[in-house]
Amino acid sequence: MDVYGLLGNPVGHSLSPPMHEVAYDELDMDARYVTFEPEAIGPAIEGANALGISGLNVTIPFKEDALSHVEPDSLAERIGAVNTVDFSGSDDSVPTGHNTDAEGARRAFERHGVSRDGASAVVVGAGGAARAIAFMLADDGATVEIANRTVSRAESLAADVDGTSAHGLDELPGLVSGADVLVNATSVGMESDESPVPAAALHGDLAVMDAVYSPLDTRLLREASASGATTIDGAWMLLFQGVAAFELWTGRDAPVERMDATLRRRL
């Protein structure tokens, strides 16, 4: 049996186990997906390697610390965070580390027919999700504007990502009105019916992704839909980062529709 898992603390709320387990069932794989809540990431990765675990997802609060305990690929190294660890062929050597959050966002855009090459994109936020999305957008050929409440954090992120610039939230209306792509990578809309962007700035030529997936129907997405914009809810990025991890570990095409249906039933 192949064993995969999730390292984080806490992880009791995670939707990864049912999403991966249904994939194993669909493809008739002898595999399980389990969760772990270690106190430290280094010993957990070393122990997983020694036990023969095939792959791990990594979530809060360990994504940044995991970087020093794996051999990161170039994207994970640039982002500064690892959310997927692959032990295949590692034996006693260092496992490889990857960041499938960026790939998850990319595939979410592709699923909805949203081009990034040559696009003008606005990312709201400067945390971990914003970093992954900003790097992906820039790599795919977009011009990226980073807007954040604390401008210094936006400036720090913009300094790391080629072709980006930093702004305060007060500049959002002007930025969004001329943009092709808008991403909310903050928690605004998760616990209150608020939007990080004024409704008047939204328009029909815009593609709007909200990384918030609880609730799925955020105020930002409702107002974006009313403006005629293309909308992408947070479940898509969550789904496709899991799909990318599954395919990395197994070398098989993931049963995307089954994984999506399972995920959405639990949201």
The pLDDT tens digits for 63-79 are: 999 999 999 999 999 99
| pLDDT at position 90 | 55
Question: Domains of the chain by range and CATH?
Answer: 2-98+237-265 (3.40.50.10860), 102-232 (3.40.50.720)
pLDDT digits (tens, 9 = 90+) for 7-19: 999 999 999 999 9
pLDDT digits (tens, 9 = 90+) for 42-54: 999 999 999 999 9
Q: How far apart are CA 211 and CA 127, in angstroms?
A: 12
Write down the catalytic residue from 22, 57, 63, 209: 63
Does the annotation count 260 as an active-site position? no
| pLDDT at position 216 | 96
Q: Which of 91-105, 171-185, 247-261 has the lowest mean pLDDT?
A: 91-105
Residues 97-121 have a mean pLDDT of 98
| pLDDT at position 131 | 97
| pLDDT at position 89 | 66
Axis-axis angle for helices 256-265, 234-250 (nearest 10): 130
pLDDT digits (tens, 9 = 90+) for 124-169: 999 999 999 999 999 999 999 999 999 999 999 999 999 899 999 9
Neighbours of 26 (CB within 10 A): 14
Residue 120 has pLDDT above 90, yes or no: yes
Q: Which of 116, 100, 115, 139 is nearest to 237 (CA)?
A: 100
Q: How many residues can be counted in the chain? A: 267
Mean residue pLDDT of the chain comes to 97
Q: Whole-prediction pTM value? A: 0.95
